[in-house]
Chain A
Amino acid sequence: MLDPSAYELGVTDLDRLLALLADDGYNCLGPTVRDGAIVYAAIASTADLPRGWTDEQAPGHYRLRRRGDDALFGYNVGPQAWKQFLFPPRERVWQMSIDGQAFVPAPDVDAATRHAFIGVRACELAAIGVQDRVFGGRPFHDDAYLARRAGAFVVAVNCVEAGGTCFCADMGTGPAVEAGHDIALTEVLGGDAHRFLALAGSERGAALLERLGCGPAAADLASRAAAGIEHARTSMGRRLDTAGLPALLARSLDSPHWETVAERCLACANCTAVCPTCFCSSVEDTADLDGGLATRWRQWDSCFNPGFSYLHGGEVRRSTAARYRQWLTHKLGTWHDQFGSSGCVGCGRCISWCPVGIDITAEATGLRERDAHKAERPAAAART
């Protein structure tokens, strides 16, 4: 049985937690401010966290703003997802050199670094869960991903505020952290107190909290933490009606709505790069001029990129409308058939980081409205 104890941590305790993880050989990665955004990078202590910062997010818009307090986690998700560490943007698959007449495979020398992810939100945990199913839940496993995943220690943080493009509540992925973490924190500020409610989510999380040796949470801490999470749940910046969505999308393949998106869409692939569940990659080989050394690389690719749907004879999806349709219908529809869940966790990154602010929730709503209109007037909607 998992230790159900609720601990109360202060900021210095959080620093000790990071130190213990580092002592245990973990590379601590967490949110930090860089170039006008909150990104994930190596952190040594709470001094590296975005203390007193928050983010303002809207379609195609992201700005850092000062908070009136010293919150360490008072913002929502930034442009990067944890997938950059579990499913790196570019990765060597293997290397071969000609040794005499034989090809000799050279294994990747990268030591298996164990990462500790600090500040993982509920939507991000859900996204990691989605990628776990993609890379490990089917007959062909991605062993490199699974090794990195197994080594990762997850310190999650409950959201007590929602961002302008958040809709995890509608996707059933947040804002409360429920599974997949080792430790869950909830930050509570009030008066002079800066406290964290800490709960274990795994045996190793429980063991670490026990080593930390903090006292039990005060009576008001759990209730204030719960109130904060409820506040986040009721202040989502976006809404997405998921009722019957896969079926709706399946019958909307010929909707004129796709063309209206394509008028604005740049087919730049930003939405897929920032999406924490998008997993598409392409493989390419490099060789030196002698042809004696060949390396195979895997790197992030996108259903929006030219050549991605190239089959014998040409590309299957040549237009921006076809590519956007592929992305959205897979993400919100056929993903269910393929992986047993939606591919969307409601983090809002694709909305904020679309250079022209295309909003997946608005486009899904637009498709639903056209579908309803068609249902009301079936004769008029009959296609020729």
Chain B
Amino acid sequence: MSGARPRLAVWKFASCDGCQLSLLDCEDELLAVAGKLDIANFPEASSAVSEGPYDLSLVEGSITTPHDAERIQAVRRQSRVLVTIGACATAGGIQALRNFADVDDFLRAVYATPAYISTLATSTAIGDHVAVDYELRGCPINKAQLLDVIGAFLAGRRPRVSSASVCTECKRRGTVCVMVAHGAACLGPVTHAGCGALCPAYDRPCYGCFGPKELANAAALAAHAEGALGADRATMTRAFHTFNAWAEPFRSLSRHGEPPPEPGHD
């Protein structure tokens, strides 16, 4: 790249801000990032916002309103490369639990004047609305992965992000399997790596923050947990009914009151 630094924009949709804050959490590397990229539009970091187009857009959050459904189109038009960051942007997030229920019921229960609220019936991933160049998983994302994606963008190389299971990270760091040795119903075997297998290292089963991995046989995991491990159906339903509930096959497994499908490929 010659001359001007590539221009970075960070966008927020329905989300908690945690993922974009991961960029600010890159304390040691933040100056290097700022040296390599022109941070042109990042309201969380600076009130100085300059107009597009942008070379790299990091998009956080899901689409939950008619306004945002239009705004993401504008973001895409101004962005050469668009990377979604986090479970909301890649899978709809925890707010996609609304997809399993009636949003009007929520509106009536929560708001004194529901008529003031303009919202969609669903929370959906950015990829359901526009073309996405790369997706970073996690609730929140791993800042090392974020830096790697930025570095990959700058160098024109492929990001170094594993799409294997969380188990591969447990085994590399020598963590004893909480499922086999402790009987915990752990989502690690069907969950995308990236967190460094954080929870099992603290003797907690994986919560599936990074969403389903490739070939995630979640039904077989649930069947084993409900059989050999003695977990009840409600526990397993709830386990899949979190930050990535709208991503298949977690979606099928997290439907309330419905039995999981037969084990097999999802």
- Write the residues of chain A forming the contact surface with B, with a CB cutoff of 8 angstroms: 34-37, 39, 60-63, 79-80, 84, 89-90, 262-270, 273-274, 284-291, 299-302, 305-307, 319-320, 352-357
Contact = CB atoms under 8 A, between A and B. Distances in A.
22 contacts: A36-B182, A60-B179, A79-B180, A79-B181, A265-B217, A266-B221, A267-B165, A268-B165, A270-B167, A273-B168, A273-B172, A286-B148, A289-B32, A291-B154, A302-B168, A306-B163, A306-B214, A354-B180, A355-B167, A356-B224, A357-B224, A357-B228
Nearest to B262: A263
Nearest to B193: A305
Contacts of A352: 180
Contacts of B33: 289
B264 interface: yes
B176 interface: yes
Contact of B167 (A265, A269, A286): A269
Size bracket, chain B contacts:
35 or more
Interface in B205-228: 213-217, 220-221, 224, 228
Contact of B220 (A80, A266, A270, A274): A266
A267 to B, nearest CB: 5
Nearest to A270: B167
Interface of B: 29, 32-33, 35-36, 147-148, 150-151, 154-155, 160, 162-165, 167-168, 171-177, 179-182, 186, 188-190, 203, 213-217, 220-221, 224, 228, 263-265
A269 B165 contact: yes
B1 to A, nearest CB: 11
Contacts of B165: 266-269, 305
Nearest to A37: B176
Contacts of B163: 305-307
A306 B165 CA distance: 9
Nearest to B36: A289
Given A36-B176, A320-B217, A355-B186, A89 B171 contact: yes
Nearest to B166: A268
A79 B220 contact: no
A61 B180 contact: yes
B180 A289 contact: no
